Amino acid sequence: MGQTKRKIDKLIVHCSATPEGRNNTIDDIQRWHKAQGWREVGYHYVIHLDGSIHKGRDEAVVGAHVRSHNKYSIGICYIGGMNASNTAPKDTRTPEQKKALRQLLLELKGRYPDATIHGHCEFANKACPSFDAATEYAELVLPEPPKETKPKSFWERLIEWLKGGKKEVTV
């Protein structure tokens, strides 16, 4: 059964809303999501505290991570997002998670260059991902590929010279 390629226009960053330092895993999230009646984890990627990136849903499959925006987005979740006492949102990303998240977003931008980066909070009344993802990753824009330029012919150079654009014409 072949899957059709979706046009991805958003990369949406989430947190698991778990206390700082709690070493939850993608398997834990899978259990939580199945308990809510979903067939599998709703995110496409989950980043553990050690910075390891774990694949959730296949990118070709619509996620279940942000209401009304799943069809054209990829969901990425890092473990954490709450203070140690689990009473307030907090950016708890470890240095390894920060590095892995940046790398994953760069890879995804390579596959989906027109996709914009967002935090879940932009689409729901939640603190998730507990930091401003859109601002933090605003510079993750791939450079334009170099334009292919072919050398100008003698006649093109002569025309430029005649129009005053060149001082000399070489043969």
Does the pLDDT at position 69 exceed 50?
A: yes
Domain with 73, as residue range(s), is 10-145
Residue 64, domain member (yes or no): yes
By CB atoms closer than 10 A (0-12, 13-18, 19+), residue 110 is: exposed
**Above pLDDT 90, what percent of the chain?**
60
Q: Omega before 129 cis (within 30°)?
A: yes
Does the pLDDT at position 4 exceed 90?
A: no
Residue 151, domain member (yes or no): no
Identify the pLDDT of residue 170: 55
Does the pLDDT at position 1 exceed 80?
A: no
By CB atoms closer than 10 A (0-12, 13-18, 19+), residue 100 is: buried
Residue 170, domain member (yes or no): no
Token pair 């694949």: residue: 55
The DSSP secondary structure of 115-126, one letter per residue, reads PEEEEGGGTSSS
Question: What's the total number of domains in the chain?
Answer: 1
Identify the pLDDT of residue 2: 42
- What is the domain-level CATH number for residue 47? 3.40.80.10
Are 55 and 40 in contact by the 8 Å Cβ rule? The answer is no
**Average pLDDT over the chain, rounded to an integer:** 86
Sheet holding 10-15, edge to edge: 53-55, 45-47, 73-78, 10-15, 116-119
CB crowding 70-91: b at 16 or more within 10 Å, else e: beebbbbbbbbbbeeeeeebbb
Active site residues: 14, 43, 120, 126, 128
Residue 159, domain member (yes or no): no
Residue 55, domain member (yes or no): yes
Residues 33-38, mean pLDDT to the nearest whole number: 84
Residue 119, domain member (yes or no): yes
Model confidence pLDDT, tens digit, residues 122-156? 999 999 999 999 999 988 865 555 566 677 777 77
Residue 167, domain member (yes or no): no
Residue 77, domain member (yes or no): yes
Model confidence pLDDT, tens digit, residues 9-32? 999 999 999 999 999 998 998 899
